[in-house]
Amino acid sequence: MSTSQKDFSDQVERFKTDAALFKQTLGKAIVGQPQLISDLFTAILSGGHVLLEGLPGLGKTHLSKVIASALGITLARVQCTPDLMPSDITGSEILITRPESIEQSFEFRHGPIFSSLVLVDEINRASPKTQAALLEAMQENQVTHAGKSYALPKPFWILATQNPIELEGTYPLPEAQLDRFLFKLKVDFPSAESLNQLIDLTLDEQPADKITTVLSHNRIQEMMTLCKEVVIASEIKHAAVALILTTHGESSDASISASVQQHIRYGASPRGLQAILRAARVHALCGGRAHVALEDIEAAALPALRHRILLTLESEMTGTDSEQFLKDIISTWKHLN
């Protein structure tokens, strides 16, 4: 084994250790949500944005604070309301008078989006105009104001939350914006055992305050770079493409194809394919491997495709469970591969 090979092997082992440490640290503050924590870590190291969906009081905002503490990065919070303006997020130009000069000038004042981690709380309460202000930031990692572009810090993540039941006075996110989220994660209601632990941990104090930084900014950058080195074989790429095509009703399994054509109006986008493979690389490294396996694709598929398929009107009216339907698709795909 050559030196570079040995180094890479050590890096993989270190990645695995750090990942376990990060998940363990978050697990101390977020009780009973190991899958959510694992998926969040995957999304963070993939450099993707996450849409958290869950009922109020399940700790979505708290989770964001814990992540910021564990990563040692600043957290900016935007509470969305219908009257929230885009400039409230991106920033605006203000007139500045300098004491040493009598001249006045406009200067761009950065908004909360110029943070490494931005918590956009209840994003579906913001107006479409404000929601659209996030598009460029999420995709291009920059903000354009008055004809001038401002780069966002690297790495840059948006954690958006939304409430699935309070739909009055909300503006559902358009598909274009949904597609820009790497993962859509569901925050499930914790079990009784987890609730008991939650009482002990959070009744009198905030666990997030006790979280120390386990991964530095530089270490995060190194880990993200390492992810790009992971080998993806042609067979695995073909399998991922087959999964995306399955959501469009193009599968070698005739029954699932017919079912997809009946229930899905539009399948996953190519951005969904990228999301799956990027997340799969992180998942592989977390398993101590330098190559992606089908299991990694499978693990990344559900959170990456959950918000990328559109059910037909008939299926929505008949109450078809899109999540269960997607699980069936993934199961069939795995069986075929």
Partner 1 sequence: MNTDKKNTVFIAFIKSMRTRLWLETTVHYSLKSLWAAAVLLLTFGFIHILWGSFSGWLTFIITLSPLFIALIFIIKSHPTLALAAKIADRRFATRALFCSALDIINNSSRSTLSPAQALVLDQAIHTSAQCHQRLKYQNHAFTALPRSSPLLMAILIGGFFLLLQAKNLRQTIALENILNSDLATEDTTAESVTSEKEGHPDASRDFVLQLRQSLKTDADNLISKNISTNNLNSNSNSDKMLSHTDHHNTIKNSQFKDIDSGRKSLGMTTGKKTRGQLAGTVSATNNNNTLPKDKIHTTNVGQLIELKIKNSQNSNTNNNANSNNSSVDLSDFSFPGSADKSSSRSIFSTTINQSDYYAHLTPEANHYIARYFQALNANNKSSTGGKQP
Q: Please answer whether residues 251 and 336 qualify as being in contact, where contact means their C-beta atoms are separated by less than 8 angstroms.
A: yes
Asked whether position 132 contacts partner 1 by CB under 8 A, the answer is no
The answer for residues whose C-beta is within 8 angstroms of residue 39's C-beta and 6 or more apart is: 50, 183, 185, 303
Q: Please answer whether residues 116 and 110 qualify as being in contact, where contact means their C-beta atoms are separated by less than 8 angstroms.
A: no
CB of 16 to partner 1, least distance (A): 14
Q: Nearer to partner 1 by C-beta: 141 or 337?
A: 337
CB of 224 to partner 1, least distance (A): 15
Window 215 to 234, contacts with partner 1 (CB under 8 A):
229-234
How far CA 68 is from CA of 26, 72, 116, 207, 325, in Å, comes to 10, 6, 9, 13, 34
Asked whether position 9 contacts partner 1 by CB under 8 A, the answer is yes
Exactly one of 290, 310, 311, 336 binds partner 1 (CB under 8 A); that residue is 290
Torsion of Cα atoms, 121 then 126 then 128 then 133, to 10°:
-60
Asked whether position 323 contacts partner 1 by CB under 8 A, the answer is no
Asked whether position 310 contacts partner 1 by CB under 8 A, the answer is no
Q: Near partner 1 by CB under 8 A, which window of 38-46, 138-146, 284-292, 321-329?
A: 284-292
Radius of gyration for the alpha carbons in the chain, expressed in angstroms and rounded: 21
Alpha-carbon distance of 247 to 215, in angstroms, equals: 37
Exactly one of 178, 198, 241, 293 binds partner 1 (CB under 8 A); that residue is 293
Q: Near partner 1 by CB under 8 A, which window of 204-212, 240-248, 287-295, 325-333?
A: 287-295
In the stretch 171-210, what mask flags binding to partner 1 with x, by CB under 8 A?
Answer: ----------------------------------------
CA angle 32, 37, 41 (to 5 degrees): 170
CB of 260 to partner 1, least distance (A): 25
The DSSP bridge pattern shows strands 157-162 and 49-54 to be: parallel
Peptide bond into 155 cis (omega under 30): yes
Length of the chain: 337
Exactly one of 63, 215, 236, 302 binds partner 1 (CB under 8 A); that residue is 236
Give the binding site for partner 1 (CB under 8 A): 1-2, 4-5, 7-9, 12, 229-236, 287, 289-295
